[in-house]
Amino acid sequence: MVTGIGLVTPVGTDVDSTWQALLAGTPGAAPITKFDPSRSSVRFACEVKGFDPLQYIDKKEARRYDLFAQFALAAAHQAVTQAGLDGKFPAAERTGVIIGSGIGGMQTYEDNCTEYVLKGPDRVSPFFVPMFIPDIAAGLVSIRYGLKGPNYATVSACASSAHAIGDSFNLIRHGQADAMVTGGAEAAITGLTVAAFANMKALSFRNESPETASRPFDKGRDGFVLGDGGAVVVLESLEHAEQRGANILGEVLGYGLSADAYHITSPAEHGEGAQRAIRMCLDDGHIDPNDVGYINAHGTSTPQGDIAETEAVKAVLGDQARRLVFGSTKSMTGHLLGAAGALEFAVSLLASRCGVIPPTINQFEADPACDLDCAPNRKVERPVNVALSNSFGFGGHNVTLAVRNWVQ
């Protein structure tokens, strides 16, 4: 059961502001402000705007925590507060934390490498390691709330936080935890990261029009737009949630995961690995494909990836693929890498709860190979019984999660 959600995204600093921005079709892409991008071939991204870490941590902590960890702590605070558990976890030994991150403290890494090269080893920060390592977000959240259950980070590129939520789901239903604080965080908009993704031709190069650059399923798409942020949910067993009188927001139904075993960056042909993850998720949740009303696509706006995912959905869901909405909120948020799966899981739940599906913006000319209804440039108001969220990472990591609104 989902009892709390927290979001820090390129279009909002909490759940409500993010959700309203998504429904309004608000683009999160803009010129980069975190560093001077004048030498970069890509000079825009989906940065988090208006985030104040001092709402969640003190000045000393802000100096010692990389931005990705600050996002994780902020999102965790929101989720834990909504769940009514702030400082009131019934059994710390039975509550765990899994926070995924594809990269970890990248700005910390760059800054300390620069200090090392220019000024020598004595100038490397003693906090470098605990600021940089991807698992520190999970560690900090567990320390903040005194949670002594299962605790680790998932690192599987763009599937990282989807794995985190799926693993947490399994830990609860297998009786190894009663509750989990889980999700992902990323702060990878740095000079080195942008250069790396740009040089491998993974990013959009539309510097003249950042707000229209992320265009999943559009014929003119040319790559993804890098995004920052954090997304955390609180999961509990039904018994645990009911015993403490929690407000249950939704139910995790299924978890599917697979490997392409194909290529370091390209998806398997016809989305073969994605097909298996989707099928596993449906089987795991005993879900009739005809009950799926919305799929939050991985939909990164890359030429190969969008086609492969479309083919996978059609292969698994058959005729139902043409009746549901298969949309990508990355058209607005950009790609949050390791945090994307958790954000999109939360969006999938919100769509099911509210009966409204966010648009896929920047649809100018549909790609004939991406011929499913992505809710182009319009939100869709309709009941959503079951929503799926797809996350696929470099290296061939595939995850599908299923969620629905909770009706007692």
- Residue numbers annotated as active site: 158, 298, 335
Measured CA to CA, the distance from residue 394 to residue 377 in angstroms comes to 28
Selection from 251, 378, 352 nearest residue 293 by Cα: 352
**Would you give the DSSP letter of residue 218?**
B
CB of 189 closer than 8 Å to CB of 228: yes
- 8 A C-beta contact, residue 73 and residue 141: yes
DSSP state of 227: B
Q: How many CB atoms lie within 10 A of CB 252?
A: 23
- In angstroms, the CA 389 to CA 402 distance is 6
Residue whose token pair is 């995912």: 309
Residue pair 173/235 in contact (Cβ under 8 Å)? The answer is no
Q: Which H or E element spans position 292? A: strand 292-296
d(CA 231, CA 264): 26
Tokens encoding 264: 């370091």
CB distance 89 to 179 below 8 Å? yes
Q: Which amino acid is at 178?
A: D
Q: Could you give the C-alpha distances from 204 to 9, 106, 122, 197, 278, in angstroms and in order?
A: 20, 21, 39, 10, 28
Residue 374 and residue 376: Cα distance in Å, rounded? 5
* The two three-digit tokens of residue 224, written as one number: 């993804």
The rounded Cα 286 to chain-centroid distance in angstroms is 25
**Reading across the β-sheet that carries 397-405, which strands appear in turn?**
151-152, 95-100, 179-186, 229-236, 2-8, 250-259, 397-405, 386-393, 292-296, 325-327
Strands 397-405 and 386-393, sheet pairing: antiparallel
Rg of the chain over Cα atoms, rounded to whole angstroms, equals: 20
In 3D space, the residue among 375, 288, 397 whose CA is nearest the CA of residue 326 turns out to be: 375
Nearest-angstrom CA–CA distance, 385 and 353: 9
Closest to 200 measured CA to CA, from 309, 38, 41: 41
